[in-house]
Structure 1
Amino acid sequence: MMDKNKPSRPKVLFFDVNETLLDLTVMKKKVGDALNGNDSLLSLWFTTMLQYALVTSASGQYKPFGHIGAAALQMVAANNNIVLSETEAQNIVVKSMQNLPPHPEVKEALALLKKEGYKLVALTNSSKESLENKFKNVGLTSYFDVLLSIESVGKFKPFSETYHWAAAEMNVNNEDCMLIAAHGWDVGGALWAGWRAAFVSRPGQQKFPLAPDTGITASDLNQIAQILITY
């Protein structure tokens, strides 16, 4: 007999990549070094990158996410009397993003979800080439059925159209999708787009209090996987 109180199983699990799956510590160290060791500027750099990614999309433009990150680094550096050329900034941001290690529990959690029959899709603001290289370099490619970059639609998450596009790419309805991410803006965007969501509460990350609540919140991906296999 079916348990009416038991949540239905999502048809597709979409995973954010940076910080959700991959540990950004190495990249943050390189960015911090470029900012003369002023670690307090790291969060400002990251939020500036997200701000200008949204500005780019809202203006009907597209630039690779890594290039926006490099431009944001130049801006934060300039406000602190540090001069970085475009080439220097891109070498710091773009190249350091190619060899980010997965968080310790990630492979085990993905393997469990795959074994349980879930369809796993990576959904990232990074370019398709960057995504493919990242996963190849750290051995994550085989865990995923599909790798999706917003580069194909030209609009960054959390625009609703981007989540709708991803659902259409997988030929499923929005209500059959679940985003798993470590960013409040990302899970909020997914929920507002009609998806379900699970929040990975990595250190320093919080859900947006004005967004709908996620169905699942846990401190790491393995805990989320343990919940999902009961569906």
Structure 2
Amino acid sequence: MTIRPKVLFFDVNEILLDLTSIKPIIANSLNGNQELLTIWFTTMLQYSLVTSASGQYFSFSDIGAATLQMIALNNGIVISELEAKTTITNAMQSLPAHPDVKPALTALKNNNYKLVAFTNSSKKGVKNQLENANLSLYFADVLSVEGVKKFKPFTDSYAWASKKIGIKPTESMLIAAHGWDVAGALWANWRAAFISRPGQQLYPLAKKPEFVKPDLLALSKALIKLT
């Protein structure tokens, strides 16, 4: 397609914010075992889907804390609920932006794109994240799935987000660094762009996104060319 999407929806963690700094914080609660970080993050995503598939809703941070306790117990480590929640909150609230983020968002905004943050995190949590990373000024709106109480990549979440902003799914474009998020958006009849952050891959069984770029600056240049 050569037509500009009406709204660019940005996932937040990984695509905008660099998760590198959470590694020592989470690892410290797991007796320094950084190899458990990937297992914890994957388990957190798994149980967010289990929660939505079962018609339930808990905040992403609560699911993160619960799965941190699960991973810890599997490795003979006991973490209290309070300790787990405090660890997750401290880890996620002060993430820095990737170096390419501010120049790319500035270019897109200066070229009349409407930018919306769209995340599985709570609205309060993501607002704190964006403020702490000095990114709030770029976004016309901030959407959290707590408004629909279904986590991405459930189709209902994307449908709710486009309706909330007042546009059609086909006028919406998700920009993300997670293959599962891009796949969910495409299956929900959105457009999508994938940024190949280190360690991230597209899901081979899903549709191909419109753009696959190494960073947001490269994507912003391609988007600005659309008419």
The amino acid of 1:198's aligned partner reads A
User: Could you tell me how far 1:179 is from its partner in structure 2?
Assistant: 0.2
- Unpaired segments ≥5 residues, structure 1: 1-5
CA distance, structure 2, for counterparts of residue 97 and residue 158 of structure 1 = 21
Q: Which residue in 2 is equivalent to 1:198?
A: 193
Give aligned pairs, total. Answer: 226
Query: Normalising by structure 2, what TM-score?
Result: 0.98
Offset of residue 28 of structure 1:
2.1
Could you tell me which of 79, 85, 88 is aligned with 1:90? 85
Match of 1:186 among 168, 181, 187: 181
1:58 and 2:53 correspond:
yes
**SS state of the match for residue 205, structure 1?**
coil
Q: 2:170 aligns with which of 163, 166, 175?
A: 175
Query: Which one of 11, 22, 25 corresponds to residue 17 of structure 2?
Result: 22
The residue that corresponds to 1:73 in the other structure is: 68
Number of the residue aligned with 2:95: 100
Q: Which moved more, 1:152-161 or 1:27-36?
A: 27-36
Deviation readout 1:166-192 (Å, 9 max, x if unpaired): 000111111111000000000000000
Question: Given the alignment of the two structures, is residue 48 of structure 1 paired with residue 12 of structure 2, yes or no?
Answer: no
Aligned twin of 2:208: 213
| Contact 2:48/2:63, CA 8 A, preserved across alignment | yes
Identity of aligned residues (%): 57
Offset from partner CA, 1:162-217 (integer Å, 9 cap, x none): 00000001111111110000000000000000001000100010000000011101
Find the residue that maps to 1:121 and give its secondary structure: strand
- Report the residue type matching 1:117 in the other structure: N
Counterpart selection for 1:124 from 105, 113, 119: 119
Unaligned runs of 5+ in 2: none
- Using the size of structure 1 for normalisation, the TM-score is 0.96
**Matched residue of 1:39: which SS?**
coil
Q: Hey, what's the Cα distance between the residues in 1 that align with 2:179 and 2:51?
A: 20
Q: Residue 35 of structure 2: SS of its match in structure 1?
A: helix
The 4+ residue runs of structure 1 with deviation greater than 4 A are none
Deviation (angstroms), 1:22 = 0.3
1:10 aligned onto 2:5: yes
Tell me the CA shift for residue 42 of structure 1.
1.0
Give distance in 2, aligned partners of 1:29 and 1:47: 17
1:201–1:218 contact (8 Å) kept in structure 2 = yes
* In 1, Cα distance between equivalents of 2:7 and 2:46: 28
- Match of residue 217 from structure 2: 222
Contact 1:67 1:94 in 2 (8 A): no
1:98 CA displacement: 0.8
**1:95 positional shift:** 2.1
Paired residues of 2:26 and 2:91 also in contact (CA < 8 A): no
2:182 match: secondary structure: helix
Alpha-carbon RMSD across the aligned residues, in angstroms, is 0.9
| Structure 2 letter corresponding to 1:193 | A
What one-letter code is carried by the residue in structure 1 that aligns with 2:32?
A: G
1:142 paired to 2:137? yes
Give CA deviations for 1:5-59 in whole Å, capped at 9, x if unaligned: x611100000000011001111122111211222221111001000000111111
1: CA distance, partners of 2:130 / 2:11 = 13
Counterpart CA distance in 1 for 2:163 and 2:216 is 25
